[in-house]
A and B are shown apart, each in its own frame.
Chain A
Amino acid sequence: MCGTDKRFVEEIDYGTPAVRSEKTVTLTIDGQSVTVPEGTSIMRAAREAGIAVPKLCANDMVKSFGSCRLCLVEIEGKGGTPASCTTPAMDGISVNTQTDRLNTIRRGVMELYMSDHPEDCAACAAGDCEMANMAESVGLKQNRYGDDGANHLAPSPIGEHGVNFKELDVSNPYFAYDPAKCIVCSLCVRACEEQQGTFALTVEGRGFESRITAGMDEPFLQSECVSCGACVQACPTGALQEKSIIEMGMPDHSAVTTCAYCGVGCSFKAEMKGEEVVRMVPYKDGKANRGHSCVKGRFAYGYATHKDRILNPMIREKITDPWREVSWEEVYAHIGTEIGRIQKKYGRGSVGGITSSRCTNEETYLVQKLVRQVFGNNNVDTCARVCHSPTGYGLKTTFGTSAGTQDFDSVEHSDVVLVIGANPTDGHPVFASRLKKRLREGAKLIVLDPRRIDLVRTPHVEASYHLPLRPGTNVAVLTALAHVIVSEGLFDEPFIRERCDWDEFQDWASFVLQPENSPEAIEKMSGVSAELIRGAARLYATGGNGAIYYGLGVTEHSQGSTTVMAIANLAMATGNIGRPGVGVNPLRGQNNVQGSCDMGSFPHEMPGYRHISEDATRAIYESLWGVKLDNEPGLRIPNMLDAAVDGSFKALYVQGEDILQSDPNTHHVAAGLEAMECVIVHDLFLNETANYAHVFLPGSTFLEKDGTFTNAERRINRVRKVMEPKNGYADWEVTQEMARALGQNWNYTHPSEIMAEIAATTPSFAGVTYELLEKEGSVQWPCNEKAPTGTPVMHMDGFVRGKGKFVRTAYVATDEKVGPRFPLLLTTGRILSQYNVGAQTRRTENVVWHDEDLLEIHPFDAETRGIREGDWVKLKSRSGETSLRATITERVAPGVVYTTFHHPATQANVVTTEYSDWATNCPEYKVTAVQVSPSNGPTEWQEDYEEHARQSRRIVHVEAAE
């Protein structure tokens, strides 16, 4: 197994970033001839030829700076010793990197550095300090200067001029900053600026007094630092170092794997010591993240070993009983009996399953197979129901397939970026960093969002247009943008004639031209001035490569699917489809939302988005699985709950989801679950849904299994097992045993065999194998005979459906309306440090940034209600009420309030309604009419719920029972 392969993944640091240039230059380095793109540094050219020039202040992630003076070289026929990191390679020159003169200079430089470097440097001892490596590589053996005189190592004696010593900063929970070890090479400052784009670090002071500081010379935690880890990774001296290295020492083996948080799907090296993770380091060859990371993937993995993890299966008869630990044999036998009993009594359709967007493709495939083959129905759904199901419907209708059109690299070629209902700096931070980099290079930005999200104005980035629309008016504003594009003749007629149905375009054009779709008409209902709408439309249509990125602020509305189609219309009308730099890009919420949808998790379609009514598709699986498949669509999550309340749906297997906390209208979810006779929860923790469960199956983390995740750019990335499952079994093994208990003889011995079955039955995955992933690192589907190494950009030569389809998008106001009782609109979202329902991130040190959900309210609305900063307030809607603390901010417009849903104590979904998207039932999380009033603390419901949760988490241990 992978766990026993104790390899350490080494990456080459080329010293300076790669340069894109058609033209090449050829030079000689240490007698070797080297050809590189014009503009490449001598340092990089040398490294490409296998020659490592000593360096401290350069790496290949950020621009060179030339401060450390170690990488000096000699160029024949030229005077001096230029820095190889800042000197470009030129045709015909001859460079020497190793001469006596250079060695003497380098030794002298290193001696000066080391004379001000602590002798007891823990990083040096651990082998994680480049200083020690460089001292050795230049042959430094002595320190002639001693440790007297001015230095940064210790506080200066009182009264002496120049206090250069700074205290160790351990305020950040994950890394420490020890200024005594810092050589002010500014790599961290550049990483923060160029890679992350936060500009939290700076060099303060001059000469010998210059120091790296965070924010306004604050502790890291109090500064604007977002704890992405880029500076820690860049630091060559151990001044910035992971606390885990300080505590555990250096890792001894590592494997490349994929982050299990958001849909960006960053590649990391999991660096291990035995069975323990020492640190997660972003992997430069990861094509989604290109060596960058955020606070969640880089640091927040502690949940994997948290004491709350449940490691043994458990059963209880009633949800009011305490849990009883049982053996795996007993739990499978119990499930077999219960599902059999329920199906016999209530019918084949009385049971179902929910696949997880947090689990692997292979695991998801098996859960839907369990439902279809073993349960014999199509009652399978996934949490994408509550996030991106409208993307599926909308893009399938207009383009022919349910997927984002680009890869993340595409943003490097965009000229105008339109961000709609997404907050990338919090929700998809690594993509946000790549986007901000492009914006700093000059691309223009348009933001459609009710809130003034960080991207609207952040260091060195400012949106050309921010359209702060009222929640629920997306379709109106997007159709108004189309109105401007058509009425001003800004559409791309040749593209439309060639790639789309011209008659459909004309029908759509006459629809958008109707006066009620004009910016002036839309201004009143959306609150966005006609002038802003016109300006934004002109910029998107005429500014060059136009790319649209959108999130749940688009989909989670009663017109979610209509909004997705409105977005597709805009891209087609302006010809912004089918090449790098453009496209329609849904930013997926969870790590494997794309994959779970691809794998046939929806009740109406088989893997690869093929409708269950297609006889040919069913025939493929029927012959392989040896059963007759139901040709009728199954129940979606909200339909399952309705059917449960009506008494015809009795058992549910939930893998890795927490529908009680994540789905809307908690009362409805609770009533549905309470009405079932057998709820099986398969998870790491006793989550909120488990409060209503009868069977608990312990789950495994992404570190404990092999498999694949598919990110928002359709990229299939490997997940590699780096430790044994603490609960004993990977999730796919547990599902397999369930199928066996129910009479199907499944015999997969490794997830690669499951992928082989997926590839054999799904045309868009036909070419995917673990061998290919090993070779390529990752591939983007479709991956088949036509595209053997995958498809970075879709619809290049034509739409998947043939002709692109324009669809009329009439605005229909939601029925969730404000009125005298509920005068404010609540919209919801997430925050950088926390993730989804928080089950993982709440069990890490990330709580230092966000330990409770807060209600954002505009000063005007706060004042009229007598609410002050930090006050407890009651948030009440037609569905329910909850209490939380308020924070007063102008990020939200008057009339709009906002909160996150990371903490179960808040239960924000007690308030959200059951209104949902007309096409997919995706809940309307983003619009709820509410009232806010001062309160004294948690509501009665919150207190009741807390007691209920406490009661339902009681466990009787096996030992006690025996």
Chain B
Amino acid sequence: MSHEEKFKSGDEHLVYMANQIATFFTSQPEAERVAGVADHINKFWEPRMRGRLFEIIEMGGDGLSPLVLEASQAINRPKAA
């Protein structure tokens, strides 16, 4: 069975999820937006996912919403495994 093209790669999926979170918090009061995104990702994303998010950001953050980039300052960097 071939699976090509049937679903997004891990990275695409990660960027998509981060942007979805940003979209929600974009509609919230301005003061809560950056902290809201960072807090959500800290609470619910496993360290591997956060680590990969930082790698994507370091490679230029292609496709990531500006709010995710801004919030990344407050996202916990995973401890080295």
Partner of B7, one of A562, A632, A879: A879
- Chain B residues closer than 8 Å to A347, beta-carbon distance: 81
Taking CB atoms and an 8 Å cut-off, the chain A residues in 906-945 that contact chain B are 914, 916, 918-921, 941, 944
- Does any Cβ of B come within 8 Å of A287's Cβ? no
Instruction: Given contacts A667-B1, A914-B7, list 12 more A-B pairs with CB under 8 A.
Output: A349-B47, A604-B43, A613-B42, A613-B43, A632-B78, A633-B46, A643-B48, A809-B27, A919-B24, A919-B40, A919-B44, A948-B1
Q: A347-B81, A670-B3 are in contact. Are A507 and B48 (CB under 8 A)?
A: no
CB distance from B19 to the nearest CB of A (A): 9
A349 to B51, CA, bound (A): 14
- Does any Cβ of B come within 8 Å of A665's Cβ? yes
**How many residues does chain B have at the interface if contact means C-beta atoms less than 8 Å apart?**
28
Q: A349-B48, A632-B78 are in contact. Are A914 and B28 (CB under 8 A)?
A: no
Whether the pair B20, A507 counts as a contact (CB closer than 8 A) is: no
Whether the pair B1, A670 counts as a contact (CB closer than 8 A) is: yes
Partner of A914, one of B8, B14, B29: B8
Partner of A665, one of B7, B20, B24, B26: B7
- Chain A residues closer than 8 Å to B17, beta-carbon distance: 916, 918, 921
Interface mask (B1-15 → A, CB under 8 Å = 1, otherwise 0): 101001110100110
Partner of A808, one of B20, B27, B44, B48: B27
Interface mask (A669-690 → B, CB under 8 Å = 1, otherwise 0): 0110000000000000000000
- Chain B residues closer than 8 Å to A919, beta-carbon distance: 21, 24, 40, 44
A interface, CB within 8 angstroms of B: 347, 349, 378-379, 507, 558, 562, 603-604, 611, 613, 632-636, 639, 642-643, 645-646, 648, 665, 667-668, 670-671, 807-810, 812, 879-880, 914, 916, 918-921, 941, 944, 948
Interface mask (B57-79 → A, CB under 8 Å = 1, otherwise 0): 00000000000000000000010
Partner of A668, one of B7, B46, B48: B7
Whether the pair B6, A880 counts as a contact (CB closer than 8 A) is: yes
Whether the pair A635, B48 counts as a contact (CB closer than 8 A) is: yes
- Chain A residues closer than 8 Å to B47, beta-carbon distance: 349, 632
- What are 10 residue pairs bridging A and B, where the CB atoms are less than 8 Å apart in the complex? A633-B43, A639-B46, A642-B10, A665-B7, A667-B1, A668-B6, A668-B7, A809-B27, A812-B24, A919-B21
B interface, CB within 8 angstroms of A: 1, 3, 6-8, 10, 13-14, 17, 20-21, 23-24, 26-29, 40, 42-49, 78, 81
- Chain B residues closer than 8 Å to A920, beta-carbon distance: 44
Q: Across the two chains, which residue of chain B brings its CB closest to A815?
A: B16
- Chain B residues closer than 8 Å to A603, beta-carbon distance: 46
- Most chain A CB atoms below 10 A, which of B13, B26, B40: B13
- Chain A residues closer than 8 Å to B45, beta-carbon distance: 633
- Chain A residues closer than 8 Å to B44, beta-carbon distance: 604, 633, 636, 919-920
Q: A642-B10, A646-B10, A879-B7 are in contact. Are A944 and B46 (CB under 8 A)?
A: no
Q: A642-B10, A668-B7 are in contact. Are A810 and B48 (CB under 8 A)?
A: no
- Chain A residues closer than 8 Å to B42, beta-carbon distance: 613
Q: A639-B49, A918-B20 are in contact. Are A667 and B29 (CB under 8 A)?
A: no
Q: A562-B24, A632-B78 are in contact. Are A611 and B48 (CB under 8 A)?
A: no
The 7 residue pairs across chains A and B that have the minimum distance between CB atoms: A810-B27, A918-B20, A667-B6, A668-B7, A671-B3, A642-B10, A635-B46
A948 to B1, CA, bound (A): 10
A667 to B3, CA, bound (A): 6
- Chain B residues closer than 8 Å to A916, beta-carbon distance: 17
CB distance from A323 to the nearest CB of B (A): 21
Whether the pair A667, B7 counts as a contact (CB closer than 8 A) is: yes
- Chain B residues closer than 8 Å to A634, beta-carbon distance: 46
Whether the pair B13, A642 counts as a contact (CB closer than 8 A) is: yes
Q: Across the two chains, which residue of chain A brings its CB closest to B76?
A: A632
Whether the pair B1, A914 counts as a contact (CB closer than 8 A) is: no
A633 to B50, CA, bound (A): 11
Q: Across the two chains, which residue of chain B brings its CB closest to A603?
A: B46
CB distance from A654 to the nearest CB of B (A): 18
A642 to B3, CA, bound (A): 13
A884 to B34, CA, bound (A): 47
Whether the pair B29, A918 counts as a contact (CB closer than 8 A) is: no
Q: Across the two chains, which residue of chain A brings its CB closest to B7?
A: A668
- Chain B residues closer than 8 Å to A643, beta-carbon distance: 10, 48
CB distance from B42 to the nearest CB of A (A): 8
Whether the pair A918, B3 counts as a contact (CB closer than 8 A) is: no
A948 to B7, CA, bound (A): 21
CB distance from A379 to the nearest CB of B (A): 8
A671 to B40, CA, bound (A): 28
CB distance from B75 to the nearest CB of A (A): 13
Whether the pair B81, A349 counts as a contact (CB closer than 8 A) is: yes
A603 to B46, CA, bound (A): 9
Whether the pair A648, B3 counts as a contact (CB closer than 8 A) is: no
A918 to B44, CA, bound (A): 11
A879 to B4, CA, bound (A): 11
Partner of B23, one of A632, A918, A941, A944: A918
